[in-house]
Structure 1
């Protein structure tokens, strides 16, 4: 008797052949997450049951269906249907543990299309790609993401240990409402003591599911709530205003480190080589770090304590390089 797991795998193999036409054994093994020997056994079992599978050997070998054979057993399972929300987001789906479900759902959808519609879908996928991670960066580690996602999926409350910006940790019981991927960073939107909160998933150290169901607000709209949360964050009161003189070529780099409400203060087409302006920063510490990174392309005019601090840091760095150069020279 064929087990449910094997039957499901054999159906997936059949659907891949129906969608792709000719597939190598190695590719099928990768898609089904089994060995090539297992693919061969499953193909032989399908052939023995009357499915016209043909195999060829050699470098260009593989498996195909003869005679335009098609199966109509393409119904989506509940989990596969849920995974369809991540079409075009294979990376995030894999982080959530939905990679195989998404691939299975995608294959079934393509198998149910006409040849022309399938070609159009394939052509679209070949021309458009969504990459949610910023340039020169990698996705930050989120070891607790599967646990958080499980709580979101099951609508169960959770107890999380969370690291705040100071480095301290606290334990919080929350009602997980949804997960948001923004610029490659995962956020959990949740209720805590009835108030809405947003948690950066990378700062969650542990997650423990609780038996109580989530108290989800009536008519909750995750996209709308996230837009409000983001707007609130971007409208936060400026902690420090800095007057500076900056080279025109460094303005794009300055834009990257300013809050949203400060970016509109930058001139779009400066008419001189140097520009003087006053811009906001979210904190005094961030203004120091960000402006120090611009080096000689910027001069802080005010506040005086920030100007003094940056000047001291640059002076110390210059002395370190000078001393290091002398240490590397041969004596005498």
Structure 2
């Protein structure tokens, strides 16, 4: 444990050049006195860590010093897939390994390369979670992830749409984080299935191994599954008159195939013909946009929205 901490302290100094005692203590989750003892141990081992006095002082390494003890362990290598996705790594229990792996990578870079990487990290950030949303509870995520990692068959207790729960035995192939929600891609009875992890009530990895298809590509498989899901509904074309203020919201509720038709930067009311995934969804979604949108056609949808609007007005009269 202490050897790992000493290496972490050394890598922090190699990456940052100089850090104060309180900064190191916070990064290593130890006391300042422990930091002082660890620095003394490094110096005794021949590492040229020097103390810098004064308010801006602390501990520093000479600019030319390079440690070669930067090899990645198996758990750290596993965590590298989540660089830039600290929330996902934390959900999978890999945040500590990811932090260690990132510092090892930073320490292995040359001065110029490290500066460029640091500038990129300061200027670009990936946030995969949708606006005004929080992550769904996923108590079974760790158990599912373990089965995925170990290539073990998985027994799920799953709540399907409508609330009916049942057991399923699946061959897990991968986990996908999409718009802040976790999904399991698996095979069941020879066909691909996707399962929303928040609907998994319990998960148990079995002793039966899973044979992954040769050359399996999770990203391509997920893209195909998503495309099939988004295109399986019968679409209805709706003609609308929309105010500019509702266009971003309108773009989020129309079918994927029609989102490119909406110019969210428009500054004048626009007439649009856009697809929706059925009249029921169209009515619900358009009512949510309020008076900023008017249904012109089809007549059945216009009558439905008008009737719902009158009923709402009557209720709040």
TM range (shorter): 0.7 to 0.9
2:306 is aligned with 1:311: yes
Residues 52-77 of structure 1: CA distance to partner in whole angstroms, max 9, x if unpaired? 33445776443323574432111111
Partner of 2:8: 12
Calculate the TM-score normalised by the size of structure 2.
Answer: 0.87
Matching residue within 134, 143, 153 for 1:157: 153
CA distance in 2, matches of 1:271, 1:73: 58
Instruction: Count the aligned residue pairs.
Output: 316
Distance 1:71 1:229 in 2: 46
Quick one: structure 1 residues 271 and 22, their matched pair in 2 at CA, closer, same or farther if it must change by over 3 Å?
A: closer
Distance 1:310 1:93, change over 3 A: same
> Quick check: 1:228 aligned with 2:219?
no
Q: Is there any run of 5+ residues in structure 1 with no aligned partner, and where?
A: 323-332
2:164 paired residue number:
168
Q: CA deviation at 1:11?
A: 0.9
Is 1:297 equivalent to 2:292 in the alignment? yes
Task: Return the match for 1:21 from 6, 17, 21.
Answer: 17
2:113 is aligned to 117
The alpha carbon displacement at 1:257 in A equals 0.2
Contact 1:190 1:198 in 2 (8 A): yes
Equivalent residue runs for 1:187-266 within 5 Å = 187-238=183-234, 241=236, 243-249=238-244, 250-264=246-260
User: Any stretches of 5+ residues in structure 2 without a counterpart?
Assistant: none
TM-score w.r.t. the length of structure 1 is 0.83
Displacement of 1:20 in angstroms is 0.9
Q: 8 Å contact 2:173–2:187 — kept in the other structure? A: yes
Q: CA deviation at 1:320?
A: 3.9
Does the 8 Å CA contact 1:251/1:266 hold for their aligned counterparts?
yes
Instruction: Measure how far apart 1:304 and its partner are.
Output: 5.9
